[in-house]
Amino acid sequence: MAPKSDSVEEIVLNFVNEQNKPLNSQIVADCLQKFNLKKTAVTKALDTLADSGRISFKEYGKQKIYLARQDQFNIPNADELNQMKEENVRLQKQLEEQKKLIGEVEGEIKGLQSNLTLEQIRDRRNKLQLEVRQMEEKLEKLRGGVTLVRPEDRKMVEDVYRDKISQWRKRKRMFKDLWDAITENSPKDLKEFKVIMHSTSYPQITWAKNKFMTAVVSFTGGAWHGV
């Protein structure tokens, strides 16, 4: 149901006064659609209010611009404006302080949320206590002279170690004897000879290197696999 004509005028008047800025009929009609007011009814109410002097209007060509009467408002003087500015500054400062306090409270809340709950603390304590007991049991075994490695296992590892060391020393000695025999009468400095042995840039050097490797294998009876 559409509002009565007097109520339409009151609705339009209240809206114009609340906005307190230049308005045309289309803007007013669009904003008052929630009251089920048609543009025709809004335009008629605006004209009635303007004719009765309850609102002001100006014509710009075919369009009318409506405005609330300014004499109904209390316009502050210069002193009142300054007081309002000072009050605004004070309120802005309070707002910043409140924002700071809110930020601190939010930080405390996040910190509390990141902490362990009582149940989690108890569970963590129980796990740590279990780990401590297990470590104490191991420590008691060590203090009591418990053998962690069997003698036969230790002997086996030591035998393997001694065998590998022996093979390494034997092959090192074999290579040194062969190296000394090859380089004994060499006119070149040994450092230069080593550089030549590691180079593969020229065919004659490659050939010499292959001959050297063949001699080493022959000397060691095919057991040499590198140094």
Distance CA(43)–CA(206), nearest Å, equals: 107
| Structure-token pair, residue 43 | 């335009």
| Closest to 56 (Cα-Cα) out of 70, 42, 44 | 70
What's the 3-state SS for 66-108?
Answer: EEECHHHCCCCCHHHHHHHHHHHHHHHHHHHHHHHHHHHHHHH
117 to 121, 123, 124: CA distances (angstroms): 6, 10, 10
CA end-to-end span of the chain: 106
Residues 66 and 28: beta-carbon distance below 8 Å:
yes
Distance CA(79)–CA(95), nearest Å, equals: 24
Q: Across the strands, what pairs with 68?
A: 55
Residues 68 and 17: beta-carbon distance below 8 Å:
yes
Q: What pLDDT is stored for residue 190 in this prediction? A: 64
Count each helix (H run) and each strand (E run) in the chain, helices first: 8, 2
CATH of 5-72 among 3.20.20.10, 1.10.10.10, 1.10.1060.10, 3.40.50.300: 1.10.10.10
Q: What pLDDT is stored for residue 191 in this prediction? A: 67
CB atoms within 10 A of CB 164: 10
| Structure-token pair, residue 186 | 């060499």
Distance CA(149)–CA(151), nearest Å, equals: 6
CA dihedral of residues 182, 188, 190, 193 (deg, nearest 10): -80
CB atoms within 10 A of CB 19: 15
Q: What pLDDT is stored for residue 200 in this prediction? A: 45
Residues 6+ apart with CB under 8 A from 69: 53, 54, 55, 56
Half-sphere exposure in the Cβ direction for 3 (13 Å, CA) = 18
Per-residue pLDDT of the chain (227 residues; tens, 9 = 90+): 445 555 899 999 999 999 999 999 999 999 999 999 999 999 999 999 999 999 999 998 888 999 999 888 877 788 888 998 999 999 999 999 999 999 999 988 888 778 878 888 899 899 999 999 999 988 887 777 666 677 888 889 899 999 999 999 999 999 888 888 877 777 766 666 665 555 544 455 455 555 555 654 554 445 444 44
Q: What pLDDT is stored for residue 210 in this prediction? A: 58
What are the domain boundaries of the chain?
Answer: 5-72, 153-219
